[in-house]
């Protein structure tokens, strides 16, 4: 009866925890993976203790604010450490939640830098972790799971709110065994029953996992959907010939991992970005890997070279969609490797068109912009190569050797070199860009920056540009002017070039 007693105690504990408080994440798929913290530990189990044999850091509560933890030092970001010091963390958290996940690449890079920067926490706060969790949740929403996982491990994830996020992230990045080891080593963090049953099976204790599920079923401590999914996972032979369990809505990382374990891996295209990371595993089909990499590269959460490696991994056996893009990239890559200008000129238009249609033109430029500028092309191919080069990180060196003939390209070359006196071509967008690169920023953004609220002002500026080239011209001018006024010239130029040429 020893195991029965343990199972009953576990069920009672987890049920009480779930009833006391709902998880506090704004991300729906995080909602049910782990329960909220218990107000009191059980008398027969220790409180949360420092973890040993793991990479999880421990940060004593009340001594260090996790809002100050980051992965990028101020020397790398160029931001002052007090960029958020004067802000209301609730206001900053609200701005972070409002950030679009489909912003232009320059804005995605800026936002990721802010989320990962090592900065002083806001001075006026009653919750020292509010900004930390807002940053982590933003990284998860953008599919930047590796970065989120590293941030949580540096800050410490031994309390339930942080552990829940770290647990979910670990399930999707393939570290579920390690996550279960941490859960076992730190019994002060209370898992839900499905999470605990999963971990019992991952540690090889299948008998305890099955008994816990049976007991939970008898007591009504799991839903019918949870019971069916767990039962299929623990003993799939019992359900041979029967239809697979219906995937839950919203999908959670644990449910995804359980379905994956029984060979019914859900497609991730219609799931939040974070789930796309699971499709990068080599056991996933080639097409699914490419689609996942495209989604993540599009939001700057994955290195474009990873996508290039997938595009060139094999020979496409079909046409349409990802296969057309893979074929176009392979043709261009082969031509560049051969150093054949005619072949490059023939392959470039198709590659650019297909990557532009997929919203991947800037990642494409990151991969090929500088290389294309070194190929002796003529006519339309030369003009196309120039625009791709100006969208690449090497935009300034590309511009120095350029000889543009079209008004838009001439204006873009001037922008890339910091020549803001060049006349813009006709149209509201070029004029807004010119105004932003020569004008003064709005007073309210300037005041925020002077009051120790630079980070808040940068987030507001990023939101002004959420419509990209379709944003209000005055908003475009205001954001560009502000970036320049606080020394972010590279951000301003890249943003201007992406607005103009993207």
- Break the chain into its structural domains and give their ranges: 315-401
- Which contiguous run of DSSP H or E holds residue 125? none
The yes-or-no verdict on residue 303 having pLDDT over 60 is: yes
Q: What one-character-per-residue DSSP string does 221-250 give? A: -S-HHHHHHHHHHH-GGGGTTSPPPPPPSS
Report the pLDDT averaged over residues 449-466.
Answer: 97
pLDDT-derived band at 48 (thresholds 50, 70, 90) equals: very low
The yes-or-no verdict on residue 33 having pLDDT over 50 is: no
Tens digit of each residue's pLDDT (9 = 90 or more) over 361-419: 999 999 999 999 999 999 999 999 999 999 999 999 999 999 999 999 999 999 999 99
User: What pLDDT does 29 receive?
Assistant: 60
CB 69 within 8 A of CB 84: no
Tens digit of each residue's pLDDT (9 = 90 or more) over 162-212: 888 999 999 999 998 998 988 888 766 756 788 889 999 988 899 999 999
User: What pLDDT does 498 receive?
Assistant: 98
Paired with 72 in beta bridges are 117
pLDDT-derived band at 446 (thresholds 50, 70, 90) equals: very high
- Name the region of 355 (left: φ>0; alpha: ψ -120 to 50; beta: rest): alpha
User: What pLDDT does 31 receive?
Assistant: 45
CB 80 within 8 A of CB 222: no
Report the pLDDT averaged over residues 294-316.
Answer: 97
What percentage of the chain carries pLDDT values higher than 70? 86
- CB burial class (10 A; 0-12, 13-18, 19+) of residue 324? middle
CA pair distance 437, 425, nearest whole angstrom? 15
pLDDT-derived band at 158 (thresholds 50, 70, 90) equals: confident
**Average pLDDT score over the chain:** 88
pLDDT-derived band at 491 (thresholds 50, 70, 90) equals: very high
Angle at 429 between CA 458 and CA 463, to 5 degrees: 25
CA pair distance 31, 289, nearest whole angstrom? 27
Nearest residue to 45 (alpha-carbon basis) of 16, 6, 19: 6
- Which contiguous run of DSSP H or E holds residue 40? none
* End-to-end CA gap in the chain: 67
CA pair distance 202, 206, nearest whole angstrom? 8
User: What pLDDT does 187 receive?
Assistant: 64
DSSP 8-state symbol, 320: S
Look up residue 170 and give its two tokens: 């670990």
DSSP 8-state symbol, 453: -
CA pair distance 290, 288, nearest whole angstrom? 5
Tens digit of each residue's pLDDT (9 = 90 or more) over 229-284: 999 999 988 898 899 899 998 899 999 999 999 999 999 999 999 999 999 999 99
Tens digit of each residue's pLDDT (9 = 90 or more) over 97-142: 999 999 999 999 999 999 999 999 998 877 878 999 999 999 999 9
pTM of the predicted structure, to 2 decimals: 0.87
Q: How many CB atoms lie within 10 A of CB 339?
A: 11
Rounded to the nearest 10 degrees, the angle between the axes of helix 489-501 and helix 105-116 is 150
Tens digit of each residue's pLDDT (9 = 90 or more) over 479-489: 999 999 999 99
CA pair distance 25, 173, nearest whole angstrom? 19
Report the pLDDT averaged over residues 428-451.
Answer: 97
Backbone angles phi, psi at 117, to 5 degrees: -70, 150
- CB burial class (10 A; 0-12, 13-18, 19+) of residue 386? buried
CA pair distance 444, 294, nearest whole angstrom? 37
Chain-centre distance for alpha carbon 396: 28
The yes-or-no verdict on residue 63 having pLDDT over 70 is: no
The yes-or-no verdict on residue 14 having pLDDT over 90 is: no
Q: How many CB atoms lie within 10 A of CB 362?
A: 29
pLDDT-derived band at 11 (thresholds 50, 70, 90) equals: low
What percentage of the chain carries pLDDT values higher than 90? 72
The yes-or-no verdict on residue 290 having pLDDT over 50 is: yes
Look up residue 462 and give its two tokens: 């990023």
The yes-or-no verdict on residue 423 having pLDDT over 50 is: yes
């Amino acid at each position: 009866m020893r195991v029965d007693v343990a199972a009953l105690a576990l069920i009672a504990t987890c049920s009480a925890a779930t009833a006391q408080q709902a998880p506090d994440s704004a991300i729906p798929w995080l909602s049910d993976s782990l329960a909220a913290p218990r107000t009191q530990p059980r008398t027969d189990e220790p409180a949360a203790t420092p973890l040993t044999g793991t990479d999880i850091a421990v940060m004593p509560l009340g001594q260090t604010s996790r809002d100050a933890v980051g992965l990028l030092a101020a020397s790398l970001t160029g931001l002052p450490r007090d960029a958020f010091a004067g802000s209301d963390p609730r206001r900053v958290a609200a701005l972070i939640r409002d950030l679009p996940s489909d912003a232009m690449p320059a804005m995605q890079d800026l936002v990721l830098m802010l989320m990962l920067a090592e900065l002083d926490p806001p001075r006026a706060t009653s919750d020292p972790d509010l900004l930390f969790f807002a940053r982590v949740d933003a990284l998860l929403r953008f599919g930047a799971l590796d970065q989120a996982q590293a941030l949580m491990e540096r800050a410490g994830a031994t309390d339930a709110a942080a552990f829940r996020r770290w647990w979910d992230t670990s399930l999707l990045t393939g570290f579920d065994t390690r996550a279960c080891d941490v859960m076992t080593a730190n019994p002060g963090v209370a898992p839900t029953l499905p999470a605990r049953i999963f971990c019992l099976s991952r540690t090889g204790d299948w008998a305890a996992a099955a008994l816990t599920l049976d007991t939970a079923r008898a007591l009504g401590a799991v839903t019918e959907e949870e019971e069916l999914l767990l039962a299929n996972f623990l003993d799939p032979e019992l359900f041979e010939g029967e239809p697979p369990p219906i995937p839950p809505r919203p999908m959670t990382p644990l449910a995804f991992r359980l379905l994956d374990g029984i060979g019914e891996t859900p497609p991730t295209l219609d799931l939040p970005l974070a789930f796309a990371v699971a499709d990068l595993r080599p056991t996933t089909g080639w097409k699914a890997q490419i689609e996942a990499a495209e989604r993540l590269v599009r939001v700057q959460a994955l290195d474009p070279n990873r996508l290039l490696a997938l595009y060139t991994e094999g020979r496409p056996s079909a046409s349409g969609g990802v296969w057309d893009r893979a074929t176009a990239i392979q043709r261009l890559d082969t031509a560049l490797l051969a150093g054949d200008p005619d072949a490059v000129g023939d392959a470039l238009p198709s590659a650019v068109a297909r990557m532009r249609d997929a919203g991947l033109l800037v990642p494409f430029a990151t991969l090929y912009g500088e290389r294309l500028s070194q190929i002796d092309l003529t006519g339309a191919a030369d003009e196309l190569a120039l625009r791709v080069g100006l969208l690449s990180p090497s935009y300034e060196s590309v511009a120095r050797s350029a000889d543009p003939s079209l008004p838009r390209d001439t204006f873009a070359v001037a922008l890339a070199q910091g020549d803001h006196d060049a006349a813009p071509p006709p149209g509201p967008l070029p004029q807004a860009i010119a105004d932003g690169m020569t004008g003064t920023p709005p007073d309210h953004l300037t005041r925020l920056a002077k009051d120790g609220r630079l980070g808040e002002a940068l987030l507001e500026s990023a939101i002004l540009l959420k419509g990209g080239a379709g944003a209000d011209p005055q908003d475009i001018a205001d954001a560009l002017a502000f970036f320049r006024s606080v020394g972010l010239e590279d951000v301003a130029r890249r943003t201007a070039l992406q607005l103009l040429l993207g």
